[in-house]
Chains A and B, each alone.
Chain A
């Protein structure tokens, strides 16, 4: 059996009595944009936390480019080429935008050798997210929308192979969502594989090649976005039984 680019099998994670992930399997192919949707508490962020090493799975297996990931720390996983952003923004508030992004580049897998190289990578990432003009600003002083971009640039600067985006578009205006969708496609054009957790369905429909639906720690559907949103179980999970929209 050939292994996918990023693959998880039967991942289980419990928090005390709560089963956050009840045996989730998934695959992500190189160059894909995959969306993960599902109601609050479905286990989406927990899945990201397991993949990035923030929490340890109780059971299951996880491979990235054919090598096992479970048991590695977050820093090692980042250096293997999987970067993330957080649901609630976590920029280094007291540092400048440039320093934030430089840190991401410096400790990254490929560009981490010299400071000069890291700086070049940092400028590239700032250019990508359109924050070049704010490089000298203190990150904590920026509006949340800009902080999200800082976080994104910080993750990009490490030259990841896979980018995990946790609700990147929450709180964005319709126009900003449009921009974000274009941006995701551009990342894909750069050869990046993207997995995003997203509640903005309109964006998911347009940006994603494939969608996984999680509900109560299980994967209840998977497929092309337009198929998945018509899936009866998905409709029920989202809107409750008997919903007619």
Chain B
């Protein structure tokens, strides 16, 4: 017990050095995971990576601007179809990259049209965009190619795992860069007061489009990577509406606007979902909904707020003990 408290105190005091060490340890652990983890766990981790990417990239735009986009499924699905088109011809990595770029391009176009809309109107439009993408793709497939779904040439689980890991790392690095950049500052100002932001020289539409586009790039990459795991895809699978809502749910669930908090929220969320699906397959949705409602009622700031409050308590408690011991 005494050691634990000492450790907690040390974590606080040593701050950045220890954080760096912890991150390095985590990086080594994740990089070497395929060497000793069973395939099932790798698949679980890749899946988790997908949720982390969707959530953090969603927060990258929505967290600072307050624009609730429900178009995540569109960008993810575009990535999926990039894999359909280019996985065989150009290889897995190029297809993943193109998936991201194509999604980014579509987001830029969509943003230029819709980011003049505010609040609920923007959300409604992005929601409609998912349906549009699904229907248009289904019609195109049936009309021009006479088919419903497609087969994507698979790659190994290890490759998928590493691709997802690289994507997560790139996303976190991008986050850090954006926060320090003019773009990040512009996005935050827009979230605070869009009109005032325009009056201090921020080209609001351009900044919003750039942020929206950047977040879509990562969603597209994630889609292209996951498509090679599913091997069979059709419009319903690619543009799965659930993928639009999950990032929002995780963001509300975690309550964090920062990537580490959101990622941790995603881990808890997916673990909880996994637990409920496997143990209580028939009541899973009901219980899941109850948990969400409970979080919103009892910790409106999200579970991360709750966790950090507990952590604070542990710290003050351990400090108090130490002060008592010193007397």
Contact = CB atoms under 8 A, between A and B. Distances in A.
Partners in one complex: yes
B200 A78 contact: yes
Nearest to A155: B200
Most A C-beta atoms less than 10 A away, residue of B180, B196, B198, B204: B196
Given A99-B185, A107-B182, A93 B201 contact: no
A2 to B, nearest CB: 29
Contacts of A54: 195, 198-199
Contacts of B195: 54, 74, 90
A84 B199 contact: yes
Interface in B191-229: 192-193, 195-204
Interface range, B side? 10 to 19
A109 B200 CA distance: 10
B189 interface: yes
Given A99-B185, A102-B185, A107 B201 contact: yes
B200 A93 contact: no
Nearest to A78: B201
A81 to B, nearest CB: 10
A108 B203 CA distance: 11
Interface string A101-116: 0111011110010010
A75 B192 contact: no
Interface string A56-82: 000000000000000001111011000
A95 interface: yes
A162 B195 CA distance: 19
B198 A74 contact: yes
A93 B185 CA distance: 14
Given A99-B185, A106-B185, A92 B199 contact: no
Nearest to B190: A92
Most B C-beta atoms less than 10 A away, residue of A54, A75, A79, A115: A75
Interface residues of A, number: 30
B189 A75 contact: no
A209 B327 CA distance: 69
A92 B189 contact: yes
A52 B200 CA distance: 10
B188 interface: yes
A148 interface: no
B186 interface: yes
A86 interface: yes
Interface string A148-190: 0000001100100000000000000000000000000000000
Given A92-B188, A92-B193, A107-B182, A112 B199 contact: no
Contacts of A102: 185
A112 B203 CA distance: 13
Contact of B198 (A75, A86, A106, A154): A75
Contacts of B185: 99, 102-103, 106
B192 A107 contact: no
A72 B80 CA distance: 41
B187 to A, nearest CB: 11
Given A83-B199, A93-B193, 14 more contacts: A54-B198, A73-B198, A74-B198, A79-B201, A90-B193, A90-B195, A92-B188, A92-B192, A92-B196, A103-B200, A107-B182, A107-B200, A108-B201, A155-B200
